[in-house]
Amino acid sequence: MTVTFNASEVLEIAEQIERNGTKFYRKAAEIFVNSRICKMLLRLADWEAKHEKIFACMRKQLSEHSREQRILRSKQMIPEPKVMAGLAVFGIRPDPADELSSKEGKIDIIRIAIEKEKDSIVFYTGLKDFVPFSAGKDQIDDIIKEEFRHIRILNKFGKQTKQTNCYDK
């Protein structure tokens, strides 16, 4: 059986990924209370929360045709977006922040966060193949651009951290 996702379903998955990202970044920020990295991680968490709202808004704005397609296909065996998001990007645990032990250093957190952002890009790029153009395939590109922005921010912060020799907390 071929499974086809429409833009609404992909955006629903994106919303869950962004919720997971928010949790992850907030938990990582708790490791570095009152530091530059804490502020950067909280800013990323806030952006993830904003992205979730953007994706929700995008999903609401889809054409009536896309909504009808989703209703007609809702009886098929399509994995729940929450499950797919958890498996694909922020791990298989219900709370992706559980991956953190609270003993990670700055470079460890940045490395893990960059991996998560890259995973989300791979996930969204792969999902584009399942989304017909008429269902809003171009909207997936917007999601990917946002994730690349996170990587640039994390890379910049990582370089600054290495230059100041701040490898510990």
| CATH number of the domain to which 101 belongs | 1.20.1260.10
Count of domains for the chain: 1
Containing structural domain, residue 67: 7-163
Whether residue 2 is contained in a domain is answered as no
> How many CA within 13 A on the CB side of residue 64?
0
pTM score: 0.74
Whether residue 156 is contained in a domain is answered as yes
Whether residue 168 is contained in a domain is answered as no
Whether residue 169 is contained in a domain is answered as no
Q: Which residue has the higher pLDDT, 137 or 149?
A: 149
> Buried (b) or exposed (e) across 88-126, using 16+ Cβ within 10 A?
bbbbeeeebbebbeeebbbebbbebbbebbebbbebbee
pLDDT tens profile 17-48: 888 899 999 999 998 888 889 999 999 999 99
Whether residue 29 is contained in a domain is answered as yes
What's the confidence (pLDDT) of residue 156?
92
Q: Which residue has the higher pLDDT, 20 or 62?
A: 20
pLDDT tens profile 139-156: 778 888 988 999 999 999
Percent of the chain with pLDDT over 90: 20
Secondary structure (DSSP) of 98-152: GG--S---HHHHHHHHHHHHHHHHHHHHHHHTTS-GGGTHHHHHHHHHHHHHHHH
